[in-house]
Amino acid sequence: MTPKRAILFQTLMEALLPVLGYFYWNWDASFILLFYLIDWILFWTLTLLKARKRIQFSGNISEKQEAGKHLGIGFLCILSTSLAVFYLLPNIHINFSWTERIWAFLSYSDMGIQQGFILIPLMILSGYMVYKQQFLLPQLFRKYPVNYFTREIVKQGLILSIVSGLVLLVSGFMKFPDEAVLFGTVGGVVIYRLLNRSKLFA
């Protein structure tokens, strides 16, 4: 398999879980949005670990300041996007309760297994394995400056904050179907990741 095909396969596999969730596990838009928010928080955490490892190796004060700035912006973007999502679905659905939906996400059971309580540890384990295999083992912290690892969290965060803010604004004037939010989110993530990852082979 060529690197380009491997990237395409990886990206499509990442989109498979929420799609399967919709068709087979009765996931709705709130479940999909919670899934991606958890994924984003995990990505930010792994970026923090990469930056810390690089700074420990280089001992460069300017890199430490740059990493702090990028990670701070990324964290603020997570907060702003989370707030937009928090107000978005109540705009779309009458009597919507995030407390009920979060608990439903965590406790949803299929074949006697509560998927939420298993899914999150699996996401953490998978993220750590990728961090170990694709960052620690090849010792990328020796090869690249800290902004190589942290700039993506800023770019991704700003795009998501702007898009989620615009969707929230529009939702105050028109009602989106649940499927539009759901598949719009999955489709947007897939397109962004394909465009972003394709640059590695440009």
* pLDDT surpassing 60 at residue 140: yes
* pLDDT surpassing 80 at residue 48: yes
- Closest by CA to 44, choosing from 52, 34, 54, is 52
| 28 conformational bin, left if phi > 0, alpha if psi -120 to 50, beta if neither | beta
Task: Note the pLDDT of residue 155.
Answer: 93
Angle at 153 between CA 152 and CA 158, to 5 degrees: 100
Using CA atoms, how far apart are residues 86 and 70, in angstroms rounded to an integer?
24
The H or E element containing residue 114 is: strand 113-114
Task: Note the pLDDT of residue 113.
Answer: 62
What number is the average pLDDT over the span 149-162?
Answer: 93
Beta bridge partners of 110: 113
| Residue where the block lists tokens 């190796």 | 57
Whether 74 contacts 43, CB under 8 Å: no
pTM summary value: 0.86
* pLDDT surpassing 90 at residue 189: no
Task: Note the pLDDT of residue 111.
Answer: 58
pLDDT tens digits for range 78-122: 999 999 988 888 887 778 888 888 888 888 776 566 666 787 888
Task: Note the pLDDT of residue 157.
Answer: 92
